[in-house]
Amino acid sequence: MKTEKTQKIGKWWTCPPILLFAAAVWQSASTAPAPSAFPDIDLPNDNCTVIIVGKDASTDGSVMTTHTADCGSCDWTWRKVPPADHKPGETRKIHHISQMRTWPPKEGLKWDLIQRDFTGLELPQPPHTYGYMHGVFGYMNDQQLAMGESTIGNVRKISNSTQAPKMDITMLTLLAMERCRTAREAIRLMGELAEKHGYGFVDGGEMLAVSDPDEVWIFEIMPVGPLWTPESGKPGAVWCAQRVPDDHVSVCPNESRIGEIDLANPDFHMASEHVVSFAVEQKLYDPASGKPFNWKRAYSPSEGSAASSQGRRQRMWRFFDLVAPSRGFKPETENMDFPFSVKPDRKLSVQDVMALTRDKSYGTSFDPVKGIRGGPFANPNYWANTRKISVANAEYTTVTQCRAGYSDIVGGLVWLAWGAQDTSCYMPFYAGVSAIPKSFNVGDHWELNRASARWAFDYTDFHAQVVYSAAIEDIQKAQREWEVGALTKIPEIDKQAAALIARSPAKAVELLTRFSNDNAERVVAAWWELGDRLLVKYNHFGFYDPEKRTRGRGRTQPEVWEKAVRMVDIWSEATR
């Protein structure tokens, strides 16, 4: 027999709106990814997204790559390392560099403190090393070599967290920046160094998008197990690389992207000599199966789709659906079955790529503001159950452009946006800059520092979260002003720098440095001011107009939100 209370509950449970609300609550509790069918895989957290655009897939002929450093607690500081000449006998010390480790600012800067983690290995210096910009990784040097990184994980049995390997992914990118001019040179150098000196310790399976003005490659590298030592005489890493066709685009969302390889076609495939034999040795591939060797299925298999993971693994599908909607890619498609690359339905501009990095999956079944997911002000950061391309915990995002037809110091551009992509601003830096602002060198997550550029963007982002649907409009207006402003100036700066190079390369460098740094410092100042304005304008959920000295009523909450509140009130009353 029902009690009075259960009878009362039975009445409200039949109410359709309440049923919908309950379903939403149930879905919230059921969106955790399903357990992997590969329990012996060291898979990464959903951290870094890399977007790749071939030169014939871009509107201006530039090769583009992106990188989102979004661990949420990593060191975000940037440096400019100058070019240098070296005397015979000089060496380069190799350090273990953790992507994740940070130090309190009072102890010093990360890039000074890593000197404590000397591996004991020193490499002979070449006569000349190139200048480059780097954050967690090397991003671009003065030869227009550029990179973007994404952790992809590996079969657990080949992980090597011992100190025997001397190379990690950060160190490899820095060495390539110092010593290489082209993508192919960089891939060969990183592969050779990792094989000779071992790869691993703080890193497992990693992917790098490696580009120059002519082409872009996906390079993936794995350790070879905890028993490897330099004395073994065996290669200390296994790696593979595949070139993205010039008229194609691709993506890496923390998943291995290289499948079947054809080493008889070195224009599109490169790999370590033992790429297949090591997989056979480790029982990761059986030639007797009759199936062709597949790199990702051997070394980093990962099941799941956008649909089966309830949006946790939607980035692969979302990217391909955005750039090639005519292909009709489905959320149910297994991520490992997506193509290596596709020809986009239309060529992409640098602004298009920036927009891709800011994508929140609006309008899809994984929309973070659908229904009541975004709260009363449609905030996409409330609904953390799906993983979008754009995330709130980004340290920074880069878009690199390698442009043929220019001197290298002019042709290379790194667009850098601090913090969350949706509330930040991309700032251009030419490959030939001799310095970057001092405010880029300092700061960390645990201490507010107004001398740190990054904090200006976090400051604005923080104030935007309160009344997101209104504040994001103010931010997007500022983004258009500063990003379009920089884009419109670049052709003239290109022209002036090209003219100066013929007469005085030093003056060309001075021009590029002044333009890049002046623009960046003005953007940083603008974002501090923007944060102040948001605080005043939306204080107490109102609309304060400083010029008119009026206060308007705050934005009305969506009807669906008000209904949900009433439903919860009814539910609470019914269950007392």
- Do residues 216 and 183 make contact, with C-beta atoms less than 8 angstroms apart? yes
- CA dist 204 and 44 (Å) reads 9
Nearest partner of 65 among 325, 387, 413, judged by Cα: 413
- CA dist 72 and 424 (Å) reads 15
Q: Residue 401 has what pLDDT? A: 98
Q: Residue 573 has what pLDDT? A: 85
Q: Name the pLDDT band for 18 (thresholds 50, 70, 90).
A: very low
Of 3-12, 234-243, 258-267, 393-402, which gets the smallest average pLDDT? 3-12
Res 132 pLDDT > 90: yes
Of 157-161, 416-420, 541-545, which gets the smallest average pLDDT? 541-545
Q: Which DSSP symbol is given to 214? A: S
Mind listing the pLDDT tens digit for each residue in 147-163? 999 999 999 999 999 99
Q: Which stretches of 144-259 are assigned E, i.e. beta strand?
A: 146-151, 154-155, 206-211, 216-222, 238-244, 249-252
Token pair 């990690």: residue: 168
Q: Which residues contact 66 (CB under 8 A, 6 or more apart)?
A: 49, 50, 51, 52, 148, 353, 356, 357, 397, 398, 399, 400
Q: Name the pLDDT band for 40 (thresholds 50, 70, 90).
A: confident
Res 110 pLDDT > 70: yes
Q: Name the pLDDT band for 45 (thresholds 50, 70, 90).
A: low
Q: Name the pLDDT band for 41 (thresholds 50, 70, 90).
A: confident
Work out the average pLDDT over 17-33.
40
Q: Which pTM was predicted?
A: 0.92
Q: Which residues contact 381 (CB under 8 A, 6 or more apart)?
A: 368, 392, 465, 468
- CA dist 394 and 388 (Å) reads 12
The residue among 426 and 552 whose pLDDT is bigger is: 426
Alpha-carbon torsion 344, 346, 350, 353, what sign? Answer: negative
Mind listing the pLDDT tens digit for each residue in 274-309? 999 999 999 999 999 999 999 999 999 998 999 999
- DSSP one-letter string for 450-462: TT-HHHHHHHHHH
Q: Residue 46 has what pLDDT? A: 65
Q: Residue 555 has what pLDDT? A: 65
Res 92 pLDDT > 80: yes
Token pair of 551, please? 């206060």
Token pair of 257, please? 């992207």
Mind listing the pLDDT tens digit for each residue in 180-204? 999 999 999 999 999 999 999 999 9
- CA dist 15 and 85 (Å) reads 77
Mind listing the pLDDT tens digit for each residue in 513-542? 999 999 999 999 999 999 999 999 999 988
Q: Residue 562 has what pLDDT? A: 84
Q: Residue 565 has what pLDDT? A: 85
Res 423 pLDDT > 70: yes
**Helix segments in 421-504, DSSP class H:** 453-464, 468-503
Token pair 């229904």: residue: 371
Q: Name the pLDDT band for 402 (thresholds 50, 70, 90).
A: very high
Which residue type sits at 286? D
Mind listing the pLDDT tens digit for each residue in 444-489? 999 999 999 999 999 999 999 999 999 999 999 999 999 999 999 9
Instruction: Residue count of the chain, please give it.
Output: 576
Backbone angles phi, psi at 21, to 5 degrees: -65, -45
Of 39-43, 354-358, 451-455, which gets the smallest average pLDDT? 39-43
Q: Residue 285 has what pLDDT? A: 98
Res 260 pLDDT > 80: yes
Nearest partner of 413 among 396, 437, 430, 426, judged by Cα: 430
Work out the average pLDDT over 214-221.
98
Work out the average pLDDT over 388-395.
94
- CA dist 364 and 382 (Å) reads 17
Residue 2's Cβ-count burial label (10 Å; 0-12, 13-18, 19+) is exposed
Give, for 353, the enclosing helix (H) or strand (E).
Answer: helix 350-357
- Do residues 415 and 399 make contact, with C-beta atoms less than 8 angstroms apart? yes
- Do residues 376 and 396 make contact, with C-beta atoms less than 8 angstroms apart? no
Q: Residue 3 has what pLDDT? A: 35
- Do residues 356 and 49 make contact, with C-beta atoms less than 8 angstroms apart? no
Res 4 pLDDT > 90: no
Give, for 63, the enclosing helix (H) or strand (E).
Answer: strand 63-69
